[in-house]
Amino acid sequence: MVFIEYLVNYIEDNSSLTIDTDLFIGADQPDAPARCVFLMEFAGGFEQWDGHKTQPIQVLAKDLTYLTAQALANTVYDLLSNKPGFTADGLTDTFFCEVLNRPFPIGRDQRGSYIFSSNFLFRTK
């Protein structure tokens, strides 16, 4: 498995979200429910001179109601924000999760779901 798969497993294990039901890797999927969360990697990860790596991750939370989408985004945010290390399988090399931005609304999708976005930078060994 790769980093993002371990991260999605961590979120599933620590929330009410379920992989491939309302928790997905990658961009929006046609059969995804109106209430769901997507995690995806984005450009910007690099290896530092000291050998540590960074892994940027974007989280998109969606729901038909604004406040529910916001609450869903905050659920994932609270699991990851400024966390100093992980003990979950596949994440033990991660020593810090830096918040790049708190969840904020970015608009609505074609079905009318509100979308909240947040971004994180995971620092790994």
Residues in Cβ contact with 102 at an 8 Å cutoff, skipping those fewer than 6 apart: 77, 81, 118
Residues 34, 35, 37, 38, Cα dihedral to 10°: 0
CATH assignment at residue 55: 3.30.2000.10
Q: Work out how many domains the chain is built from and give that number.
A: 1
Name the average pLDDT for the chain: 90
- In 76-108, which positions are buried (b, 16+ CB within 10 angstroms) versus exposed (e)? bbebbeebeebeeebbeebeebeeeeebeeeee
H-run or E-run covering 62 = strand 53-63
Whether the predicted model's global pTM rises above the 0.85 cut: yes
Alpha helices in the chain (DSSP H): 3-13, 66-80
At residue 44, the pLDDT reads 66
State pLDDT tens for residues 55-76. Answer: 899 999 999 999 999 999 999 9
Residue 6: both structure tokens together: 């371990």
Task: State the residue range of the domain holding 78.
Answer: 3-124
